[in-house]
């Protein structure tokens, strides 16, 4: 999160591996284009996109334009602005497994250096299948390509490993070639606007800190539900499952931001140190307890918005007797002074009733009710509701007197809402993250020990679920709120999952 106004940006070359992939078209190029429109990109920049397929620059740029027109938050590109931006994009067909291709990137970078008369920062963006991350790093190292410690960076998409062992190996391999300061491991949830605001909300308001602990908070819910199924990602997802795909990264990172201690300052390492502390303080999950604290599910067929949708096992590239979970819910504990005894409930799943990501901090009830004991009039516990998407808002729920002659209580909201202009002007996660890489700010990226600690936290469940197959999959229909035993998981403790209705568009 650099303060862009007071920093000079070096000329920058971005090499995108995986140029023909969905991520490049949907996220990376629209993000770079919006940064360009808002004058955040350096004056001198070049994007070299590469994948195996042969395209002319013109054909490739036209494909990207379609992506912008469909996916950019700023809508369709204007002709002149697109022309200005896209002249900086060149396409190079290459086999990224072949070290010889890297010499061609080198030639292009040298040409740019000569033209600009300055040495650029060079960013390598690995938007490719994870089994190619190391190949790319090794070929960068074997070829003549740039690898200056202070001006070369490598961006690694998720999934970062498929378990603790493979994540460690990947870290070792990357760290043989790059310094930690050069490696930007993406978890795009950290770039979401409201997620970043949690830090401001917690650490820039003195009224929050005295309340932010076990004395006042009863429990926390972190919920990321999706309406979509696995779409065309069956072959990846069937080997991953939702625990790897969402919990190990996105949901645990949200948990860290809620639970972390205040860092000394906003330095990237100090912030990440405090997040790692949370992961290290997570109560170790013992295999014998897993059936009591974690629930998995897999979606069956159903109807979504008037259309019949297949069950998970009938999705393309999914095996017909797959045991892969598309839903997970769990109860976690953080064993430290601040959070002892406060349960954190996490849930996420595909083909659920609604797409929504939110965090709910449920405060304790008042210690004594002075109002009449009419059931309808019992004061309800306060809640802080952090809505990440699709609505973006931070809302305090308080009790208030209903206007009238009687003393009747009512729940009212104090809301900070990003509706209207604030919403359309809010950068997408990828804009924030890419700008951070350009500036060399690692605060919102995963450090090696952070990724490993997150894997360590989920490994017992991952191992247990792999060894113990489910016999009742599919166990929830599409367009529902997930398996029934997910309700039971939280109901055992006297709570229920809280769903936040969206504003109608
Ligand atoms: C990705 C997962 O990391 O996050 C996907 O691989 C998931 O399965 C996506 O759909 C959700 O991201 P967002 O930003 O749409 O909530």
Q: What is the pLDDT of residues 284-299, one digit of tens each?
A: 999 999 999 999 999 9
Q: Is the peptide bond before 474 cis (omega within 30 degrees of 0)?
A: yes
Give me the catalytic one of 40, 188, 219, 250: 250
- Name the nearest CA neighbour of 295 among 492, 486, 495, 490: 486
Ranges in the chain, pLDDT < 70? 1-7, 421-424, 504-505
Q: How far apart are the C-alpha atoms of 243 and 296, rounded to whole Å?
A: 9
Residues 190-362+441-491, CATH architecture: 2-Layer Sandwich (3.30)
* 313-352: pLDDT as tens digits: 999 999 999 999 999 999 999 999 999 999 999 999 999 9
Count the alpha carbons within 13 Å of 118 in the hemisphere toward its beta carbon: 14
> What is the pLDDT at residue 505?
55
* 219-247: pLDDT as tens digits: 999 999 999 999 999 999 999 999 999 99
Say if ligand 1 is within 6 A of residue 245 CB. yes
340 CA → ligand 1 middle, Å: 31
Per the CB < 8 A criterion, the answer to whether 161 and 455 are in contact is: yes
CB atoms within 10 A of CB 447: 21
Hey, which of 23, 226, 430 would you mutate to test ligand 1's pocket, going by the most ligand atoms within 8 Å of its Cβ?
A: 226
Say if ligand 1 is within 6 A of residue 193 CB. no
Ligand 1 atom nearest to CA at 187 = 3
> What is the pLDDT at residue 102?
93
Ligand 1 atom nearest to CA at 224 = 16
Q: Average pLDDT of the chain?
A: 95
> What is the pLDDT at residue 145?
86
Ligand 1 atom nearest to CA at 429 = 14
Per the CB < 8 A criterion, the answer to whether 94 and 52 are in contact is: yes
Domain ranges of the chain: 4-157, 190-362+441-491
Say if ligand 1 is within 6 A of residue 226 CB. yes
pLDDT above 70 covers what percent of the chain?
Answer: 97
DSSP states of 331-365: EE-B-STTTTT--EEEEEESSBS--EEEEEEEEPP
CATH class label, 4-157: alpha beta
Three-class secondary structure of residue 479 per DSSP? coil
Hey, which of 189, 246, 252 would you mutate to test ligand 1's pocket, going by the most ligand atoms within 8 Å of its Cβ?
A: 246
Q: How far apart are the C-alpha atoms of 469 and 446, rounded to whole Å?
A: 32
Ligand 1 atom nearest to CA at 249 = 3
> What is the pLDDT at residue 140?
95
pTM for the predicted model, two decimal places: 0.96
Question: In Å, what is the CA distance from 498 to each residue of 86, 104, 219, 254, 285?
Answer: 45, 54, 12, 17, 25
H or E element at residue 218: strand 217-225
> What is the pLDDT at residue 373?
73
Q: How far apart are the C-alpha atoms of 231 and 215, rounded to whole Å?
A: 44
Three-class secondary structure of residue 121 per DSSP? strand
226 CA → ligand 1 middle, Å: 9
Q: Is 250 a catalytic residue?
A: yes
């Amino acid at each position: 999160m650099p303060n862009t106004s007071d920093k000079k940006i070096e000329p920058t070359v971005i090499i995108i591996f995986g140029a023909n992939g969905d991520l490049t078209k949907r996220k990376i190029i629209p993000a770079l284009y919006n940064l360009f429109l808002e004058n955040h990109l350096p004056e001198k920049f070049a994007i070299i996109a590469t994948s195996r397929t042969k395209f002319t620059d013109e054909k490739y740029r036209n494909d990207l334009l379609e992506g912008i027109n469909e996916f950019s938050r700023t809508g369709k590109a204007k002709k002149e602005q697109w022309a200005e931006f896209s002249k900086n994009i060149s396409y190079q067909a290459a086999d990224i497994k072949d070290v010889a291709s890297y010499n061609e990137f080198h030639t292009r970078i040298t040409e740019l250096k000569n033209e600009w008369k300055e040495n650029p920062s060079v960013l390598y963006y690995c938007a490719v299948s994870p089994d190619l991350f190391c190949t790319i790093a090794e070929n960068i190292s074997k070829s003549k390509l740039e690898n200056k410690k202070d001006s070369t960076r490598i961006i690694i998409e998720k999934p970062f490993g498929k378990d603790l062992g493979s994540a460690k190996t990947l870290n070792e391999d990357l760290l043989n070639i790059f310094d930690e300061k050069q490696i930007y491991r993406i978890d795009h949830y950290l770039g979401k606007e409201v997620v970043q605001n949690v830090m401001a909300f917690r650490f820039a308001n003195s009224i929050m800190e005295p309340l932010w602990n076990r004395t006042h908070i009863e429990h926390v819910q972190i919920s990321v539900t999706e309406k979509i199924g696995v779409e065309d990602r069956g072959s990846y997802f069937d080997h991953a499952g939702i625990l790897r795909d969402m919990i190990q990264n996105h949901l645990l990172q949200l948990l860290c931001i809620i639970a972390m201690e205040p860092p000394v300052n906003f330095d990237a390492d100090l912030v990440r140190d405090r997040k790692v502390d949370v992961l290290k303080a997570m109560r170790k999950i013992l295999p014998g307890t897993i059936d009591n604290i974690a629930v998995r599910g897999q979606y069956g067929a159903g109807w979504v918005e008037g259309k019949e949708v297949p069950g998970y096992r009938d999705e393309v590239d999914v095996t017909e007797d797959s045991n892969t979970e598309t839903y997970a819910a769990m109860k976690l504990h953080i064993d430290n002074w601040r959070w002892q005894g406060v349960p954190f409930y996490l849930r996420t799943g595909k083909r659920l009733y609604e797409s929504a990501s939110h965090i709910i901090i449920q405060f304790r009830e008042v210690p004594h009710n002075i109002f009449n004991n009419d059931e309808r009039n019992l004061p309800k516990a306060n809640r802080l509701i952090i809505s990440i998407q699709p609505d973006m808002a931070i809302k305090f729920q308080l009790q208030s007197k209903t206007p009238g002659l009687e003393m009747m209580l009512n729940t009212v909201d104090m809301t900070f809402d990003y509706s209207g202009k604030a919403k359309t002007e809010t950068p997408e996660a990828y804009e924030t993250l890419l700008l951070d890489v350009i500036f060399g700010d690692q605060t919102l990226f995963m450090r090696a020990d952070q990724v490993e600690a997150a894997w360590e936290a989920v490994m017992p469940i991952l191992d247990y679920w792999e060894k113990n197959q489910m016999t009742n999959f599919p166990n929830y229909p599409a367009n529902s709120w997930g398996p029934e035993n997910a309700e039971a998981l939280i109901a055992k403790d006297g709570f229920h999952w809280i769903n936040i209705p969206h504003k109608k568009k």
